[in-house]
Amino acid sequence: MSGLDQITVRVESPDPDGADDILTGMADALLREIHAHLADLHLKGENHTIDLNGLPLTEADRRQLKAALGQGEVRIHVECAGPSEVYETAYAGVWWVDHRNGLGASAVQHIEIARTPAIVPAHPDDIADAVVRLEAALKDAAEQD
C-alpha cells in the first residue's frame, strides 16, 4: 500500500463570496511582461503571445489589466470557427484577442505583442484558393458578356 489513499483531496470552486473580486498582483506582473515583450518587438521585431486563460487571473485582475492597457483606434471582428474580437490597446503593437466558440462563450483570450495580430494576415492556402475562385469568376463574367 502506497499511502496515497490517506491523502485528503479537496475540490475548490469559485468563491461565491467574491474571491473573483480580489486583486492578486497578476495584472501588474503582466504589465511588466508586456513591456519587456513590447521592447523586444521594437528592438528585435520579435512577436509574443500571452495566454490569459492559462494564468491564475481573477476577474478583478482581468478588469485591472484591461483598464491599464486601455483601447486604441483599431478594432477587428473575425468570423472563423466562431467570432473573434481583436482590438489594439492604447499601446501600439499590444493587441487584446478574444476568440469565442459557436455559442458565443470566450474560448481563448490572449494578448499579442506584434505589429499585426496572427489572425489577421491571409493564410497562403486561402490566397491560393482566392486566385482560383477569382479566375473562375472572371471567366464566368467574360462568358456572360
User: Tens of pLDDT along 48-72?
Assistant: 999 999 999 999 999 999 999 999 9
- CATH node for 11-120: 3.30.1370.140
**Taking the domains of the chain in order of start, what are their residue ranges?**
11-120
Q: How many CA atoms lie within 13 A of 131 on its CB side?
A: 7
Three-state secondary structure along 103-135?
CCCEEEEEEEECCCCCCCCCCHHHHHHHHHHHH
Higher pLDDT, 113 or 119: 113
User: Tens of pLDDT along 4-14?
Assistant: 666 665 555 45
